[in-house]
Structure 1
Amino acid sequence: MTVQETLEDALSKVAASPVSLMCAGRTDAGVHACGQVVHFDTQAERTMKAWVMGANINLPHDVSV
């Protein structure tokens, strides 16, 4: 599973519906994505804090928002 798929799964749980990410770039295996920018559209209305906390709760310890 890719980092993108992992993040999509986490955000989908927060949104309670499927989320598909659009990324500003890509990373190769073995590099970091610090500062990576992503975008997604959703009908779910959440605060920024809820998106960030919800995503982080559902992500593995080595991936964070």
Structure 2
Amino acid sequence: MNTRNHEHYTDRTAYDAIKAADKPPNAARETVENMRREANKRGFEVFGRIKLRDMKTGKIYR
């Protein structure tokens, strides 16, 4: 993601706001980490992207 606005000036505030809005909730991040940890315990490696869908909202986290 670029930290510059459409006029090519550095716009750190907008960058931080967009980055925070795009961040998945803790539950999604913890779930992915638990999946990776469990795979490693069993001798597997997760090398691709894991997608999760919130069953209540339908939102997909990548």
Report the TM-score, using the length of structure 2 for normalisation: 0.30
* Structure number with bigger Rg: 2
The one of the two structures with greater contact order (alpha-carbon pairs below 8 A, sep at least 6) is 1
Higher helix share: 2
Report the TM-score, using the length of structure 1 for normalisation: 0.29
